[in-house]
Structure 1
Amino acid sequence: MKRRYLLLVVLLPVLFIISTGFIVKDDKGNAIAAMWFKNQADTFVTPTLESFVPDFPGGFNSPVLGTSYIGFKEALAFSESSGNYFAVNRLGYKGRYQFGQSTLKWVGVDSARDFMSSPAMQESAFDALVARNKYVLREYINAFDGKTIGGHKVTESGLIAAAHLCGAGNVKKFLDSGGEDVFADANNVPLTSYLSRFGNFDTSIIPANASAKATL
């Protein structure tokens, strides 16, 4: 009897930590996402970029991961969904990096259900998207990297982030127009915001690849 009582005393705090330890809260203490333990059937409306990513003068860099490629992924995932693999916003964009249906198909993902249930597939899909965008923008990266366009410094990682937000075609229009043609998404976030905030990361680990596909 005493053993059962002691076991209960030990297990209850552990269960409490597990059930609450993965909950992300806002500055008012409201739970906004339960990582990994969130019901996959629930929807999560992603916050705007300005709500979660501070406007540092040099852009957002993880204090732990620095400017590494992993740091780039974590920073972008945080702005897209607070890092929630099961997030679905009001426009139907899915997962940690908020993929649209056409983008999923572009990187070889046929099943949105499989995509949403597999963090590994989401990471692979993001890597494939980076590789494809690098290929599409390869000439622009070579021509504009390090230059200032429309008051914004251009870097490879910034261009890739901007392409993630609005598509490589709109990034090309921005550069071709000398910074005059600035696309903004449905949340009114301009591509220049991503260009600046996610600049100066090292994305060289992912090579340009026109046929990159998500794999498990």
Structure 2
Amino acid sequence: MEIMTTLPLAADELLTTTRSVRKRLDLDRPVPMSLVRECLEIALQGPSAGNRQGWHWIVVTDPEKRAAIGGYYRRSYFEYAFSGTTEGAAGEDDPARAETQSRVNSSAAYLAAQLANVPVLVIPCIEVPDGELPAGSQASLWGSLLPAAWNFALAARARGLGTAWTTLHLTYEEEVAELLGLPPGVRQGALLPTAYFTGENFKPAPRIPLEQVLHVDAW
């Protein structure tokens, strides 16, 4: 397999500049499947409970299927946007975060409108007995998929690709599963729109100070 030259990013820079890319996704530039496969090879190095590796990866490039998924995603987004629980609402009582949250809302709306035009949609999935999610803690189940999916996002960033971590399509998980022919025992964990990104680079995002969320030995 031919390996693409990665960007000259130190580990800390890679980890702090792998951002959710929405408005800066290049909707016109095709993404080679060989590059997606390269990122998925790195995704497969993620951990899984008992080394079961029960993950599956759906890569959607067909325009009609992307359009159908985009339709479900757009419906889900508007239901969410008018629910009062959006990212913007999270910062309405904090003026310091209001501007950032406003940008998040704007970019989320943009992605909802343009998802069908993103050249590659990656849907990480996990095998679940009978397709029924556990009634109790699901940490082991999703912990066997989501780190690998984040590996994909990191690998994509290192190769000049942008991604956005989203789960809004899961409101219509059954419809998307039928569209893609998923068997009953396979559940979707996320949706990663993937494309080259525009502009020069990314910088770390503003975050709540560590002192406000750190607890040592007790709450």
Larger relative contact order (C-alpha < 8 A, sep ≥ 6)?
2
**Higher strand proportion, which one?**
2
- TM range, normalised to the smaller chain? under 0.3
- Larger Rg over CA atoms: 1
TM-score scaled by length of structure 1? 0.27
TM-score scaled by length of structure 2? 0.27
